[in-house]
Amino acid sequence: MTKRARVVVLDPVDPDALAALAEAHEVEVRIRPGHDELLALAAGADALVVRSGVRVTADVIRAGQRLRVVARAGAGTENIDLEAAREAGVQVLNVPGASAEAVAELALGLLLAVTRNIARADRQIRDGIWDKPNLAGPELRDHVLGVVGQGSIGSRIAELANGLGMRVLACVARPSPERDAALRERGVERVELPELLTAADAVCLSVPLTEHTRGLIGEAELALMGTGSYLVDVSRGGVVDEAALLRALREKTIAGAALDVHSRESGTPEFAALDNVVLTPHIGASTTDAQAKVGRILVRDLNAALAGGSVANRVC
């Protein structure tokens, strides 16, 4: 009888995915353990399953004496030390694109929440304050949305914005005449980042965190945005210089921001003291539909990796 692999699940995943994994493997669920416990868990694991809440550092990978796979139930792998995984011969796989619809819909919701002061109005009414005259905001139709990034998430954000009658600008990492033509067919005009920031009434960030995008939006970039403009961030913490954004919001050099991602995903951020900010705790992919889809792909690819088969979404 073939020995069952030991799979340690460290972040919440879809219940059906957990059940499917348990049919084939020995599964232990330990949600976001402390570092010492994480090292001990890794030592006896064949596979680790994470989302964004657990950092799989080099010492965690080195502790995994029999570790073969780290599976990311989502797209981003910035919380996994890929170089250490390569050196140890540990496969890393992810599930890109499965949550694009969920993240794009949240981006649109955040844009509406910050421009129409929805979250602020809700807080006020709960405190017995009816301040309707000071809650007016712009409509979206006939305004300009700048989308930074045109991957699966950014392209869906652009599509939703077009449906609302917005003019959509975008910037991409690798422009080409063919890419420009394809964007124009979808009602999107490609421009460079400075032009996008200057022209847009709202800017939405939907890029991965890489050495090229870290600090992409800082003081100089925020200065290009108009005083009536808004920033929506559904990318990754680190893409925006939070200190510079905090100053811009306090000084009202931009009108507001809506942030689903943060450099530190715990505690109370300084942004919480500001009325012109909407905050959510990195819930872009947190729909039942998206997590079910992620779960199905995760089970398929993790089973294949542990069986020694090929995996379509192998990162390293």
Residues noted as catalytic: 236, 265, 282
Rounded (5°) CA angle 167-206-77? 165
Name the amino acid, one letter, at 193. L
Name 32's bridge partners.
Answer: none
The Cβ-side half-sphere exposure at 136, using a 13 Å CA radius, reads: 2
Q: Measured between alpha carbons, how far is 115 from 135 in angstroms, rounded to an integer?
A: 9
- Taking the C-alpha atoms of residue 228 and residue 164, their distance in angstroms, rounded to an integer, is 19
CA distances, 195 to each of 59, 154, 169 (Å): 44, 18, 9
Sort 244 into a burial class: Cβ within 10 Å, 0-12 / 13-18 / 19+: middle
Question: What element of type H or E holds 102?
Answer: helix 100-115
